[in-house]
Amino acid sequence: MSNKKLFASLGLDAKDLRGGDLTVCSPINGAPIASLRVDTARDLKRKIDRAQQAFLVWRTVPAPRRGELIRLLGNELRRNKKALGHLVSLENGKILAEGMGEVQEMIDICDFAVGLSRQLYGLTIASERPGHRMMESWHPLGVVGVVSAFNFPVAVWSWNFTLAIVCGDPVVWKPSTKTPLTALACQALFKRALKRFGDAPDGLSEVVIASRKIGDRMMDDPRLKLISATGSTAMGSKIAPRIAGRFGRTILELGGNNGMIVTPTADLDLAIRAILFAAVGTAGQRCTTLRRLIVQRDIYDEVVERLKKAYASITVGDPLAPKTLVGPLIDKGAYDTMQNMLKAVAKEGGTVSGGGRLLARRYPKAYYVEPAIVEMPKQTDNVGEETFAPILYVMKYRTLDQAIRIHNDVPQGLSSSIFTNDLREAETFVSAAGSDCGIVNVNIGPSGAEIGGAFGGEKETGGGRESGSDSWRAYMRRATNTINYSRELPLAQGIKFGE
């Protein structure tokens, strides 16, 4: 399908896609695919004003009715899964199977949110006073600001958006300037759902295409009661204090540096497959990408040898071609960062296999790389940094205690895994003395989470949780209600006051 047809099928208006200052290029070949008008500070204000007006109406709509709107959005996504998945690949460079997987994740969270719209429960609590009842009510919080990263351009928005909408909160979304088209397509699909829904207020969903400068202003607007920001730790550390300064809430979903421990009892056939997907999938550009492999020394040589063989079988190339497993990096900046890091770790004693540029002749303006394996004598500060590219560091360990120490000895705490068939090792890894991450897996890799669980990580990953489980609570405010149905006025703690 031509780009023109693809854009039209997703409801993007051709006249909005040309003549603007923001040029959007496909990482597949570096060619421009659109140029968009960027929002000014005034546009941002106007959009937040509209969302705030929408909040005043939407908060009083019964939650199951709000869920109906998300059910309709899920239907639009089902109808347009192929087209939106294709656009994700075109704009972000991930392979088509992963682009479609991302849209499936959106459909899944829509289903979850629809169910949730009838389950926004509070507790009833035993009161210490006779003739009194205590309970919790959960109310809509206010307008939610969503800032998203280029690597999951639509799924992460949908985790936030679907929950926010059923919880009663309009959303103002600032997508990455590297992937604005997918955001506009989501907005167009949501508009179709709104049309079917009928009576929703204007301003439930606003998209802001803007530079960091304008994005910055978003952080200071007190009407955005919650900012859910996904991106680098550097971004999080800039915005978090500002939002805290105005007592706004945050969900921070920041960088990861995910590890896997492979023990002598591991099923190596499974482990090698899991490592491959987790380390090279999405060209190493997942927050949950496997970046550090910690292997027991007795099986180290075998694991590395098998891994190198598996790496040699990977097809790197056009992400829209059916046999490709690894597409391009997002841009030259990502390529340069990868090359600089490979040089730095080689200086620290790392043995680098792979990592070079591929297909440069065919795609002089795109950045395809051979995924790299780097055998490290120890975990250095550079290994402790997240390099957003397919670099897998491999290190040896002797005892499980030592492996867990190495595993936890990085600033980030997103995802982790262990491959073992030893119950004691598995349970130790998931215990309080084990992995210190927000996601802790046994016999699967660290990437590829399902929407049903709470997603997020500890330490410099930011501590936020979104998607499944009880993450919805972040989008609501809790009121504790005490109701006196007696004819007396007993005080709590038995206090006598003026009697």
142 in contact with ligand NAD (CB under 6 A)? no
Q: How far is the CB of 161 from ligand NAD (least distance, A)?
A: 15
Find the part of the chain contacting ligand NAD (CB under 6 A) among 38-46, 142-150, 428-436, 477-485.
142-150
Give Cα separations from 227 to 5, 146, 240, 307 (angstroms).
Answer: 35, 6, 9, 40
240 in contact with ligand NAD (CB under 6 A)? no
Q: Which two tokens stand for residue 295?
A: 């292997």
414 in contact with ligand NAD (CB under 6 A)? yes
* Closer Cβ to ligand NAD, 85 or 140, answer by number: 85
Are 33 and 87 spatial neighbours (Cβ–Cβ below 8 Å)? Answer: no
Nearest by Cα to 221 from 203, 200, 202, 239: 239
Q: How far is the CB of 77 from ligand NAD (least distance, A)?
A: 20
Applying CB under 6 A, among 166, 186, 235, 342 the residue interacting with ligand NAD is 235
Site for ligand NAD in 283-342 (CB under 6 A): 287
Among residues 25, 167, 287, 437, the one annotated as catalytic is 287
Applying CB under 6 A, among 69, 114, 149, 185 the residue interacting with ligand NAD is 149
| Alpha carbon distance 134, 482 (integer Å) | 4
DSSP 38: P
Measured in degrees and rounded to the nearest 5, phi and psi for residue 493 equal: 60, 15
447, with CB counted inside 10 A (0-12, 13-18, 19+), is buried
DSSP 87: H
46 in contact with ligand NAD (CB under 6 A)? no
Residues 6+ apart with CB under 8 A from 189: 10, 11, 73, 76, 77, 80, 84
Among residues 68, 91, 98, 253, the one annotated as catalytic is 253
231 in contact with ligand NAD (CB under 6 A)? yes
Residues 6+ apart with CB under 8 A from 5: none
Q: Is 287 one of the annotated active-site residues of the chain?
A: yes
Applying CB under 6 A, among 117, 151, 162, 263 the residue interacting with ligand NAD is 151
* Closer Cβ to ligand NAD, 300 or 472, answer by number: 472
* Closer Cβ to ligand NAD, 68 or 253, answer by number: 253
3-state secondary structure of 134: strand
Q: Which two tokens stand for residue 221?
A: 């607007």
In sequence order, what E strands does 39-197 have?
A: 124-125, 132-140, 143-147, 171-174
Please give, one letter per residue, the 3-state secondary structure of 345-380: HHHCCCEEECCCEECCCCCCCCEEECCEEEECCCCC
* Closer Cβ to ligand NAD, 176 or 205, answer by number: 176
* Closer Cβ to ligand NAD, 318 or 385, answer by number: 385
Q: Which helix (H) or strand (E) holds 22?
A: strand 22-25
Find the part of the chain contacting ligand NAD (CB under 6 A) among 89-97, 111-119, 172-180, 312-320.
172-180
254 in contact with ligand NAD (CB under 6 A)? yes
Find the part of the chain contacting ligand NAD (CB under 6 A) among 40-48, 71-79, 174-182, 345-353.
174-182
Number of residues lying near ligand NAD (CB under 6 A): 29
Site for ligand NAD in 378-407 (CB under 6 A): 386, 388
The closest residue (CB) to ligand NAD is 231
Applying CB under 6 A, among 80, 162, 182, 230 the residue interacting with ligand NAD is 230
Measured in degrees and rounded to the nearest 5, phi and psi for residue 258 equal: -80, 140
147 in contact with ligand NAD (CB under 6 A)? yes
Nearest by Cα to 294 from 434, 409, 407, 435: 407
238 in contact with ligand NAD (CB under 6 A)? yes
| Residue found by looking up tokens 């803007």 in the block | 210
438 in contact with ligand NAD (CB under 6 A)? no
Site for ligand NAD in 70-99 (CB under 6 A): none
Residues that bind ligand NAD (CB under 6 A): 147-152, 156, 174, 176-177, 212, 215-216, 230-232, 235, 238-239, 253-256, 287, 386, 388, 414, 457, 461
Q: Please identify every residue annotated as catalytic.
A: 253, 287
